[in-house]
Amino acid sequence: MAGETVNGMQEEGFGPAQSGQGYAGYQGYPYPGYPMYPAMGMPGQMPMGQGAAMPGAQTPAEGASPVAPPPAAATPAQPAPMGLPPLMLGTYTPKIDAKGRMALPAKMRAQLGTGLVMARGQERCVYLLPAMEFRRIAMQIQRTSMGDKAARDYLRVFLSGAVDQDPDKQGRVLVPQMLRDYANLGSDIVVIGVGTRAEIWNREAWESYLADKEQGYADIADDVLPEVGL
C-alpha cells in the first residue's frame, strides 16, 4: 500500500517505518528531521532515564559511577526553650546613706538587671522588680481592674508610686523619699530575696515580722503548699 495514490494525492509512510523516521510500530506518521529512539519508539523523545546533553557538556564515561546528589541541608537547630527567671534569695543588710542611696546586694544585681523598678509593696516594704516582671504584674492587675473597684484602687496606688531606677557604676540605686516614708526606711534596712523580686524593709519591722511568722511557719506549709509536699 505504500506510495498509493488516494484522491489524487500521494500517500506517504504507509508500510514499515524506515529506520530513523516515523513512529516505530505505528505506520503512516513520519516526522522528518526528528530522530527515532528505539528504546521508546517515540519521535523526538528521550529514552527513559536519559537526557540530551547540552552543547559543550561533558558526559560521564561509560561504566563510571553516577554522580551522587549533594547532601541535604542540615535541619537548623531549634532554639532552646526559655528557662525560668533566676530567683532572688537570701537576706542582706546594706545601708541607706544620707543621700538616700542603697548598694544593691551583689548577688541580686544580675537578676534585677540594669533597668529595675521600685514600688510600694505589701506589709509596708518597698518592692525591687526587674522591669519585665514589673510590667507583667502591672498588666495582670490592669486586666482585673476593669470591673473591680478594689483592683482599680490598688493599680492607682501601685503605679503612682513606681519609679524606674538604673544602678550607678558602684551598683547603687536611689530610694525615693516617698518610698522611704511609706516603708519607714532609715539607714538600717534589710533586703530580702522573694523569688522574682526583692523587698526592702525597715530592719526593726522585718525582725518583728519574721519573729511573728516563724512561729506558725511549719504549721501553715500544708495549707499554703498542699501539692508541693515540703
Which residues, 6+ apart, have CB-to-CB distance to 86 below 8 Å?
A: 110, 111
122 and 11 in a single domain? The answer is: no
7-55, pLDDT tens digit by residue? Answer: 554 444 444 444 444 444 444 444 444 444 444 444 444 545 455 555 5
pLDDT band at 79 (very low <50, low <70, confident <90, very high): very low
Check which CATH number belongs to the domain holding 211 and give it: 3.40.1550.20
pTM as predicted = 0.61
Range(s) of the domain holding residue 169: 91-130+163-217
- How do residues 119-144 score in pLDDT, each as one tens digit? 999 999 999 999 999 999 999 988 88
Backbone angles phi, psi at 125, to 5 degrees: -115, 175
**Is residue 150 situated within a structural domain?**
no
Q: pLDDT tens, 184-219? A: 999 999 999 999 999 999 999 999 999 998 888 877
| Torsion 41-42-46-48 (CA) sign | negative
Evaluate whether residue 48 is within a structural domain: no
CA distance 119 to 130: 11
8 A C-beta contact, residue 118 and residue 127? yes
Q: How many domains does the chain have?
A: 2
pLDDT recorded at residue 227:
61
